[in-house]
């Protein structure tokens, strides 16, 4: 009896863990996003379709502004934003936070380097980044989306380390295959 109960718990935990790591697969078409973003404390409209006209987009989802892991990740992306720009990529952070909170976060933690946007529940669901413990929030998942709208890199982990290096490697690899003229 004990073994079967332990096995059932292990299966349930594994399923919950796997559900928490679900993401859109590489090669999938990225759902379009139309939302408000804040850059340097100033809100403005954002369209993923429009952003992709300029090059690849690093789209990273995070649970909530001003939390420890999200602040660390914002600092890391801020430090790398100039390098992303040199490769022709745009960085956009997304969370379920309201735009007024993101206005402050974009200045204080993103250091005016990249935009952060308000992810709707529909966007969080479309990108398959629902945080199982708090379904109104996103988990921590980074995507790199090529200009054709296809996902070329996915990394999902609540630990903020690895998101910037992984997305940077993916953008460099894409750029090497698509040099600018």
Digit-coded pLDDT (tens) for 16-45: 333 345 689 999 999 999 999 999 999 999
> Which range of residues forms the domain containing residue 132?
2-177
Cα separation, 28 vs 30, whole angstroms: 6
Number of domains in the chain: 1
Sequence-ordered list of residues with C-beta below 8 angstroms from that of 138, at least 6 positions apart, any chain: 61, 62, 63, 94, 95, 96, 119, 124, 127, 129, 130, 131
Task: Say how far apart CA 29 and CA 141 lie, in whole Å.
Answer: 16
In the chain, pLDDT over 70 holds for what percent of residues? Answer: 87
The enclosing domain of 70 has a CATH number of 3.40.30.10
Q: What is the mean pLDDT of residues 99-104?
A: 98
Query: In terms of DSSP bridges, do strands 130-131 and 115-118 run parallel, antiparallel, or are they unpaired?
Result: unpaired
pLDDT of residue 96: 98
């Amino acid at each position: 009896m004990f073994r079967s109960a332990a096995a059932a718990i292990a299966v349930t935990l594994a399923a919950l863990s796997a559900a928490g790591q679900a993401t859109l697969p590489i090669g999938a078409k990225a759902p379009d996003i139309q939302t408000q973003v804040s850059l340097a404390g100033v809100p403005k409209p954002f369209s993923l379709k429009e952003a992709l006209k300029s090059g690849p987009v690093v789209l990273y989802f995070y649970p909530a502004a001003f939390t420890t892991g999200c602040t660390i990740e914002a600092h890391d992306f801020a430090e790398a934003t100039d390098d992303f720009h040199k490769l022709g990529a745009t960085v956009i952070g997304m969370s379920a936070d309201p735009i007024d909170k993101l206005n402050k976060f974009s200045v204080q933690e993103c250091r005016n380097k990249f935009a952060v946007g308000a992810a709707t529940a529909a966007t969080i669901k479309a990108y398959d980044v629902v945080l199982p413990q708090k379904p109104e929030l996103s988990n921590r998942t980074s995507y790199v989306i090529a200009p054709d709208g296809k996902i070329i890199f996915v990394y999902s982990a609540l630990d903020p380390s690895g998101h910037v290096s992984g997305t940077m490697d993916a953008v460099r690899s894409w750029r090497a295959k698509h040099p600018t003229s």
